[in-house]
Structure 1
């Protein structure tokens, strides 16, 4: 993106953030922006395609481009021992969690290269999609140490909350020894699972979860959040 395109992009994004453009009203036409900024039409089109990939606008063939409804973001507190599901239910009534995978992890999986994992451990992956307002908003992967919980193999779609699972097995105190946060753009699989545009940033949080009383590792966790659905408190 060159300087002329950046100037148009900054103008449009500032208008979106400041309320200059009204929800579902037509955005400025390409020809209007060509006249306003004195740049070739292809540059205006490039900017609009970029902003659409960011998830702020949508197109109607032969009609124009329109501002998308920007959904309310939910707070995620990155500390504490409250389950993700409980945090979400405190903020919205329209939340659900669906198990998308429950399977044993092969011994050549990258999870076995994590320093917290002992190679002899039997690990099960429990993957859940978190839905807010009927839209996928986060992907949660728990790599559970199945040696401690052989019953996990038969748990199936009941494992929407690992905290509830652990508590049902007599574990009530948890702690974590680390938390790593990284930001990326979604790959093809993540775009399909999370139904997000290519330029919607994702926040990935990796951490471990221990039984505090027994000092026993329960799981290694990866959570991938759509940043257009959450705000983060550290």
Structure 2
């Protein structure tokens, strides 16, 4: 049992390596089950497990009676993370087509954690925004952002034709957001995020919690979930 498990992982790794190296290109049909059985000296059950695993990770699509074909791979996007960068500026500086969609904007009472992070008192309220961002029309990240309502009064009035949160913060509220801390974590997505990002639930994401100040006062706490297969981070010190 253990040997079969290891063998199907080995075959899946081989297929992914071949696709990554361009041996099998987008739209190509990979070798048949029989060919892979002969190549690796194993049975069809093990090969099917390997192909199913490769497909579940987004590399292949299998069609009954036709075989398995290489999927289009998403663009790998470099992202420069520094104290002053924002998504729009990052993409514009690289000439990358991007867009975003505001999924939610609600005004509510903060949680205890949000009160602590944003240094809020008992009577304060916050705005919660959820933003889905795209690169080349492909979803790359979903971000939940918490803002103190007193810093961005009547925020909902400035979100028509929403393109960039930092443009709103600087243009309407004269804030100069500066990221002072970010916490990274690799993890698997929850179902709702996987659906928004168009990925299987077993494809890892990068979670980034960011803490942002304006003139040394907390002005934003955000939680971004980013597709691990689309982003390459660059941290500037």
CA RMSD, Structure 1 to Structure 2 (Å): 2.1
2:114 to 69, 90, 112: 112
Q: Which residue number in structure 2 is paired with residue 216 of structure 1?
A: 217
Native 8 Å contact 2:117 2:221 kept in 1: no
How big is the shift at 1:157?
Answer: 3.7
Separation in structure 2 between the aligned mates of residue 232 and residue 27 of structure 1, nearest angstrom: 31
Number of positions where the alignment pairs a residue of Structure 1 with one of Structure 2? 231
Q: Which residue of 2 aligns with 1:139?
A: 142
Q: Which residues of structure 1 form unaligned runs of 5+?
A: none
Look up the match of 1:97.
100
| 1:195 corresponds to which of 193, 198, 207 | 198
Contact 2:132 2:143 in 1 (8 A): yes
1:211 to 1:203, Cα distance in 2 relative to 1, 3 A: same
Query: Aligned-pair distance for 1:111?
Result: 4.5
TM-score (norm 1): 0.89
**Are the aligned partners of 1:34 and 1:44 in contact in 2 as well (CA < 8 Å)?**
yes
Task: Map 1:1-234 onto structure 2 (within 5 A).
Answer: 2-107=5-110, 109=111, 111-112=113-114, 114-120=116-122, 121-171=124-174, 173-212=176-215, 215-234=216-235
Where in structure 2 are there 5+ consecutive unaligned residues? none
The one-character-per-residue Cα deviations of 1:22-71 (angstroms, maximum 9, x if unpaired) are: 32111111111112212221111111111112111112232111111223
**TM-score (normalizing by structure 2):** 0.88
Q: Please say if residues 74 and 91 of structure 1, whose CA atoms lie closer than 8 Å, have aligned partners that are also in contact.
A: no
